């Protein structure tokens, strides 16, 4: 492990030497990145972000989660103003709670996936007005839909059950931030992927190994970061972005320095400029302290 850390420091130091631009904005994903495997916020990661804020570096949390599922510990990070939620569909002012930006799925896109939404064998979640909704069966029996044991309690704590998620989706068809499809096996995965990958009506991505998510056309964490940078007068070359999964790929590519977690997906690792430690090894704190304050 010590040898690996030394190697990571060497790679990061080389990246820092190659990039002479001072970092002015740090953006981090939550699950698998800033949070540990128990979905808690390590004190070291919190301290690293607060150190950024104290040094005048803007900090951004960019997550696939809806607003109301962002942990209170994250919301309480001192200096955190910008929250990018639902994979870039929403930007919030973390201090005032004001919604600063919104891009929804089109009604045509929701109608296009109506067959999947009504499929009782698939667990669906609909994000609306910052809240994640699912049907009662999925809420009470998420284990039978392929949700890992460590995420089942999270579902109970953060989702609001409704009688029919299909009816709910069509009742709010013009203001849906994101639809999440969860699969339990390879056959179901291929079924969902085949149904979703044939259309350009939405943006298809994933934040876990057991799901697919769709958002509005052109919605991504990178587009949301670009909006924030435009407001702040920050160039992409001055951005450090850290993530681990496919929904982080766009911001990893957008940033002047893109950092992949040690156990990130292959596409993220390939796109990143450098790799940090795993989330349970405080990879975010390590990356920030090495690249911003080395």
Q: What confidence score (pLDDT) does residue 11 get?
A: 57
- Residue 77: the pLDDT is 98
For 121, the 3-state DSSP assignment is coil
Alpha-carbon gap, residue 269 to 212, rounded angstroms: 20
Q: What are phi and psi of 84, to 5 degrees?
A: -100, 120
Of 263, 243, 265, 264, whose CA–CA distance to 253 is shortest?
243
Cα 246 to Cα 262: distance, rounded to the nearest angstrom: 14
Nearest to 77 by CA among 61, 90, 65, 89: 61
Handedness of CA 193, 199, 205, 211 (dihedral sign): negative
- pLDDT score for 186: 92
pLDDT score recorded for residue 216: 98
For residue 126, the model assigns a pLDDT of 98
Distance (Å, whole) CA 244 – CA 268: 6
What domains lie within the chain, and their CATH numbers?
2-103+220-291 (3.40.50.1000), 107-215 (3.30.1240.10)
Q: Are 15 and 274 in contact (CB under 8 A)?
A: yes
Q: Mean pLDDT by 10-residue block, N- to C-terminus, for the chain (294 residues)? A: 54 56 95 97 98 98 98 98 98 96 98 96 97 96 91 94 97 98 93 93 95 97 98 98 98 98 97 98 98 92
pLDDT reported for residue 1 = 60
């Amino acid at each position: 492990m010590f040898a690996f850390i030394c190697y990571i420091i060497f790679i990061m130091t080389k990246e820092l030497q190659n990039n002479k631009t001072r970092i002015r904005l740090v953006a981090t994903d939550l699950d698998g990145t800033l949070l540990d495997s128990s979905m808690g916020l390590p004190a070291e990661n919190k301290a690293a972000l607060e150190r950024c804020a104290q040094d005048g570096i803007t900090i951004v949390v960019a997550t696939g989660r809806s607003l109301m599922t962002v942990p209170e510990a994250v919301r309480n990070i001192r200096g955190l103003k910008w929250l990018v939620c639902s994979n870039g569909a929403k930007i919030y002012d973390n201090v005032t709670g004001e919604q600063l930006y919104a891009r929804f799925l089109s009604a045509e896109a929701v109608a296009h996936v109506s067959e999947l939404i009504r499929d009782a064998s698939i667990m669906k979640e609909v994000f609306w007005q910052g809240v994640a909704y699912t049907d009662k069966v999925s809420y009470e029996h998420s284990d039978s839909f392929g949700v890992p044991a460590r995420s089942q309690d999270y579902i109970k704590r953060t989702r609001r059950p409704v009688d029919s998620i299909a009816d709910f989706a069509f009742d709010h068809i013009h203001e849906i931030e994101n639809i999440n499809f969860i699969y339990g096996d390879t056959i179901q995965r291929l079924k969902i992927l085949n149904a979703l990958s044939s259309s350009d009506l939405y943006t298809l991505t994933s934040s876990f190994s057991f799901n697919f998510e769709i958002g509005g056309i052109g919605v991504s964490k990178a587009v949301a970061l670009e909006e924030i940078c435009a407001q702040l007068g920050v160039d992409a070359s001055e951005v450090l972005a850290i993530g681990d999964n496919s929904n982080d790929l766009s911001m990893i590519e957008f940033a002047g320095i893109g950092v992949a977690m040690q156990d990130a997906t292959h596409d993220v690792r390939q796109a990143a400029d450098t790799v940090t430690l795993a989330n349970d090894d405080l990879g975010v704190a390590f990356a920030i302290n090495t690249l911003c304050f080395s």
